[in-house]
A and B are shown apart, each in its own frame.
Chain A
Amino acid sequence: MSGSEKRNDVVLEARNIVKSYGGIHALKGVDFQVRAGTVTTLLGENGAGKSTLVKILSGVEQPTSGEIFLDGEPVSFASTIEAAEHDIAIIHQELSLAPNMSVRDNIFMGREIPGTFGVDYAEERRQARELLEEMQLDIDPDKLVSDLRVGQQQLVEIARALSIKSRILIMDEPTSALAASEIVVLFGIIRELLARGVAIVYISHHLEEALELTDHTVVLRDGNITAKGEREEIDLEWIVRSMVGENFELGHRPTRYEFGSSALNVDGVVILDEENPHRRLVDEVSLDVKAGEVVCIYGLMGAGRTELLEAIAGRHRLHSGDIMLDRKSIVHMSIAERIEAGVCLVPEDRQRDGLVQSFTVGENLTLASLNDIIRHGMISRVTEKARSMELMKAVTVKAPGPDLMVGALSGGNQQKVVIGKAVATMPRVLLLDEPTRGIDVGAKAEVFRLLNERAEQGLAVLFSTSEVAECLIIPHRVLVMRRGRLVAEFTGGVTEEQILSASGGSPSA
Chain B
Amino acid sequence: MATTSPAAVVKERRGSSIGKRLLEGRAFLALILIIVVFSLLSPNYLTTSNLLIMGSHVAIFALMGMGQLLTILNSGIDLSVGSTLGFAAVMGGFMLQGVPLSAFGVTLYPSVPVVVVISLGVGALVGLINGVLVARFRVAAFVATLGTLYAVRGLALLMTGGITINNIAGDPQLGNTGIGWLGFNRAFGIPMGIVMMVIVALILSHVLGRTRFGRWLYASGGNERAAELSGVPVKRVKVWVYVISGICAAMAGLVLASTLTGADPNAGSTYELTAIAAVVIGGASLRGGEGNIRGTLLGAFVIGFLSDGLVIVGVSAYWQMVFIGGVIIVAVMLNSINYSGRQDS
0/1 interface trace, chain B 255-274, chain A, CB 8 Å (1 if under) = 00000000000000000000
Q: Is B140 interfacial (CB-CB < 8 Å)?
A: no
**17 new A-B pairs (CB below 8 Å) besides A335-B228, A367-B230?**
A23-B6, A335-B231, A336-B232, A336-B233, A339-B231, A353-B229, A355-B223, A355-B226, A358-B290, A379-B209, A379-B210, A379-B211, A379-B212, A381-B13, A407-B1, A408-B4, A408-B9
The interface residues of chain A lying within 8 Å CB-to-CB of B231 are 335-336, 339-340, 367-368, 425
Q: Is B240 interfacial (CB-CB < 8 Å)?
A: no
Partner of B219, one of A340, A356, A425: A356
Partner of B6, one of A21, A370, A381, A411: A21
Residue in B4, B225, B229, B342 whose Cβ sees the most chain A Cβ within 10 Å: B229
Give the complex CA separation of A61 and B222 in angstroms.
Answer: 27
Q: Is B227 interfacial (CB-CB < 8 Å)?
A: yes
B227–A356 touching, CB < 8 Å: yes
Give the complex CA separation of A374 and B213 in angstroms.
Answer: 12
B47 to chain A, nearest CB (A): 40
Closest-by-CB residue of B relative to A370 is B212
Q: Within residues 72 to 112 of chain A, which ones have a CB less than 8 A from any CB in chain B?
A: 94
Closest-by-CB residue of A relative to B345 is A351
Closest-by-CB residue of A relative to B224 is A356
**Could you list 15 A-B pairs, sorted by A, with CB under 8 Å?**
A315-B229, A336-B231, A339-B230, A345-B229, A352-B226, A353-B226, A356-B223, A363-B14, A363-B219, A367-B231, A370-B212, A378-B206, A407-B4, A410-B1, A421-B230
Closest-by-CB residue of A relative to B344 is A357
The interface residues of chain B lying within 8 Å CB-to-CB of A381 are 13
B223–A357 touching, CB < 8 Å: yes
B229–A313 touching, CB < 8 Å: yes
Closest-by-CB residue of B relative to A366 is B215
Count class of interface residues, chain B: 35 or more
Q: Is B218 interfacial (CB-CB < 8 Å)?
A: yes
Q: Is B309 interfacial (CB-CB < 8 Å)?
A: no
Give the complex CA separation of A404 and B10 in angstroms.
Answer: 5
Q: Within residues 199 to 251 of chain B, which ones have a CB less than 8 A from any CB in chain A?
A: 206, 209-212, 214-216, 218-219, 221-223, 225-233
Q: Is A213 interfacial (CB-CB < 8 Å)?
A: no
Partner of A378, one of B210, B218, B221: B210
Partner of B222, one of A359, A370, A379, A403: A359
Partner of B9, one of A51, A363, A405, A421: A405
B163 to chain A, nearest CB (A): 47
Beyond A353-B229, A368-B230, whether A363 also contacts B215 by CB under 8 A is yes
Closest-by-CB residue of A relative to B289 is A358
A356–B222 touching, CB < 8 Å: yes
Q: Is B102 interfacial (CB-CB < 8 Å)?
A: no
Q: Is B11 interfacial (CB-CB < 8 Å)?
A: yes
Give the complex CA separation of A181 and B294 in angstroms.
Answer: 56
Beyond A352-B225, A352-B226, whether A403 also contacts B215 by CB under 8 A is no
Q: Is B5 interfacial (CB-CB < 8 Å)?
A: yes
The interface residues of chain B lying within 8 Å CB-to-CB of A410 are 1
Q: Within residues 300 to 358 of chain A, which ones have a CB less than 8 A from any CB in chain B?
A: 313, 315, 334-336, 339-340, 345, 347, 351-358
A250 to chain B, nearest CB (A): 24
Give the complex CA separation of A481 and B300 in angstroms.
Answer: 57
Closest-by-CB residue of B relative to A313 is B229
The interface residues of chain A lying within 8 Å CB-to-CB of B229 are 313, 315, 335, 345, 347, 353-354
The interface residues of chain A lying within 8 Å CB-to-CB of B3 are 21, 61
A334 to chain B, nearest CB (A): 7
Beyond A353-B225, A363-B215, whether A405 also contacts B11 by CB under 8 A is yes
